[in-house]
Chain A
Amino acid sequence: MGFNQGNILRNKPHVLPGFRLSLGFTLFYLCLIVLIPLSAVFLRTTELTLSEFWAVVTTPRLLASYRLTFGASLIAALINLVFGFLTAWVLVRYQFVGKKILDALVDLPFALPTAVAGISLTAIYASNGWIGQWLEPHGIKVAFTPLGVVVALTFIGLPFVVRTVQPVLEDFSAEAEEAAASLGANRWQTFYKVILPAVWPALLTGFSLAFARAIGEYGSVIFIAGNMPMVSEITPLMIITKLEQYDYAGATAIAVVMLVISFILLLTINLLQWWSAHRHGSQP
C-alpha cells in the first residue's frame, strides 16, 4: 500500500486514512442489508389504497392483538422497571453469597435463544409444571393465557433496566448521600430526593428499551401464549398468519403499523439518552 506522508499531513481535517473507504462500505452495507429491504415494506403497502390499508389493520382480531401486545409489553416493562431497579440496587450496594453468579446470569435472556426460553417457561407454568401445579388449584392459569405472555415478556426484558441503571448507581457519589444525611434527611428522603432523580433517566431508558423489545418479541411468546384468536394472539404472530395464507399485502400492512410504532419508540429512547447525557454533563 503506497502511502504519501506529505499529502496526509497537508490534509489537516482528515489526517487518518480510510474515511471514504470505511464510510462508503458502511453506507453500502447498511443500504443492502437494512435500508433497501426495510423500504420494501413501505413501498409494498402503496399497493393498497388508504381505505383498504385501514380496513386490513383494524379488523377486530388484529385490534385484540394490539391490545394484548401493547398491554402485556407495558405490564412486563413496568415489572422490569421495579424489579430491575431493585436488582441493580442490590447488586451494586450489598454483599451476599452468590452475588457474582447472579450478576452474570442477569444477561441470560440476551444470550438464551428465545425459542428455548419459550418452551422452558411453558413447561414451568403448564398445569403439571413446577410452578403451574401450585397456581392451578388457586384458579391462576399462566400457560396458554395472556398472563403467560406477560411472564415471557418479563423474562425477555429483564436485563435492560438492570444494565442501564447499574453503571449510574456505581458512579453515584457517596458524598451526595452524606451531604443529604448531614443536612438532616432521613434515609427515605435521601433515596427519594437525591438518588432517585439521578437514576431516573437511566430507569426511563431501560424501561423503553424493555418495552420496545417486548412489542416485537415472537419466539418466547408463541409457545406460552396458546395463540387463541381474540384472546392470546400477539401482533407479530398475525404477520406470520397472513404470510402463511400468502396474504402478502395484509402482512405488510401490519408490519408498517409495527414499524412506525417501533421507530417512534426508538426516537424516544434516543431523545431520552440525549437528555440524560445533557443533564449529567451540566451537573458534574
Chain B
Amino acid sequence: MHATQSQQYAAKIASRRATSEPVWVRYGLITLTVAFLTLFLLVPLAAVFTEALRKGWSVYIAAIFEADALSAMWLTLIAAAIAVPLNLVFGVAAAWAIAKFDFKGKHFLITLIDLPFAVSPVIAGLIYVLMFGLQGWFGEWLIDHDIKVIFAVPGIVLATIFVTFPFVARELIPLMQAQGKEEEEAALVLGASGLKMLWHVTLPNVKWGLIYGVILTNARAMGEFGAVSVVSGHIRGLTNTMPLHVEILYNEYNYAAAFAVASLLTLLALVTLVLKTYVEWQAARSAVRNEEGVIAS
C-alpha cells in the first residue's frame, strides 16, 4: 500500500507541469544520480569480486579454506556471537527505561548512548589499551593473574562491543516511544507478570526494529577494522579477525587471497542489505495492517 501510494503521488506530480521539472531536467538528474551511485557503489562492489576471481576459482577456494583464514572466520563469529546478544539486552533495557518512563537527564543519557558513534574506531581500541594494556590501569594486576586482554580475544570482543554499542538502543527507543504504554498497562491489569508482558506485548510490538538493530549490530561487529586492529596485535591464527586477515594478505601483496576473503565480507554486507530491505518492507506492511485494524474497529 505504501509503495502504490508513493507511486500514485509521483505520477500525480509528474502529470502536472507546474509542480514538476521539464523532462530533460528529470532525465538529466536521473542520469547524474545513477552515474554517481554507479561510480561510488556498483564499481567498488564489482571490483571486489573481479579481483577475487582474477586468478581463478582454485586460488579463490584455496584462499578461503586456508587454515589462517578459517581461524579468522571463527574469531569473527565468536566476537559477533558475544557482542550482539550483550548489546541486544542492553538495547532493550535502555529503550525500556528511556521510552516508558520520565526521569531527569533522559536526553543526556541518550547522547551518552550515542557516544560510540562519535568516537573514532582507533580511539575505541586505544581506550582498552589504556585500561588493560601493559602500561594500563589494570596491566600489572592482569599480568600477576596471567590474564591477557590486549593482543588477545577478550580485547577484540570488548572493542567490538564498544563500536556496536548504540545500534539496538538507537532503533528501539523511538519505536517504543511511539508505541506508548497502554498495551503494557493493559497486560499488567489483566494479571500478566513483568516478564510475560515483556515477552508477549513489548517485544512483539517492536519486533522489526529489534531485528533491524540486530542485523546492523552484527554487520558492524563482523566488519569492524580500526578498533579491533589496535587491540589485536595481528597474531596470525590467534587474534586475527576476517577484516584484519584481509589487511595482512593485502600488505603481503597477496591480492587474490585478500580479495577472496574480502568477497565473503562483501557477501555478508549484501545479505545484510537484503535482510534490511525485507525488514523495512515487513515493518511498513504491519504498520499498514495496524492502521487498517484501527479503522475497522
Contacts and interface: CB of A to CB of B under 8 A. Distances in A.
A245 interface: no
A16 B243 contact: no
Nearest to B12: A174
Interface string B57-79: 00000000000000000000000
A22 B93 contact: yes
A49 interface: no
Interface of B: 6-7, 9-14, 16, 18-22, 26, 29-30, 32-34, 36-37, 39-45, 47-48, 51, 86, 89-90, 93-94, 96-98, 100-103, 109, 111-123, 126-131, 133, 135-137, 158, 161-162, 165, 181, 184-185, 188-189, 191, 193-195, 197-198, 216, 219, 222-226, 229-230, 242-244, 246-247, 250, 255, 258-259, 262, 265-266, 268-270, 272-274, 276-277
A119 B250 contact: yes
A16 B181 contact: yes
Interface string A147-160: 00000001100100
Interface in A24-77: 25-27, 29-30, 33-38, 40-41, 44
**Contact-residue size bin, chain A (C-beta under 8 Å from the other chain):** 35 or more
A5 B226 CA distance: 50
A135 interface: no
A243 B129 contact: yes
A236 interface: yes
A18 B98 CA distance: 12
B270 to A, nearest CB: 8
A276 to B, nearest CB: 15
A231 interface: no
Contacts of B158: 33
Contacts of A259: 119, 123
17 contacts: A1-B194, A16-B100, A16-B181, A18-B96, A26-B93, A34-B116, A91-B33, A95-B14, A104-B276, A112-B265, A113-B243, A113-B265, A123-B259, A131-B43, A187-B18, A236-B123, A240-B230
B120 A216 contact: yes
Contacts of A86: 29, 32-33, 36
B33 to A, nearest CB: 4
A115 interface: yes
Contact of A44 (B130, B165, B191, B230): B130
Contacts of A87: 33, 36-37
Contact of B223 (A3, A44, A98, A116): A116
Contacts of A110: 216, 219
Nearest to A89: B29
A130 interface: yes
A72 B122 CA distance: 18
B265 A258 contact: no
Given A190-B19, A216-B123, A239-B122, A5 B188 contact: yes
A196 interface: no
A38 B223 CA distance: 22
Nearest to B247: A115
Contacts of B259: 119-120, 123
A100 to B, nearest CB: 8
Nearest to A159: B41
Contacts of A178: 16, 18-19
Contacts of A230: none
A95 B45 CA distance: 24
Nearest to A184: B18
A223 B22 CA distance: 43
Contacts of A121: 44
A219 B129 contact: no
B30 to A, nearest CB: 5
A67 B144 CA distance: 44
Nearest to B26: A94
A95 to B, nearest CB: 6
Given A22-B94, A30-B113, A181-B19, A107 B130 contact: no
Contact of B30 (A96, A119, A190, A223): A96
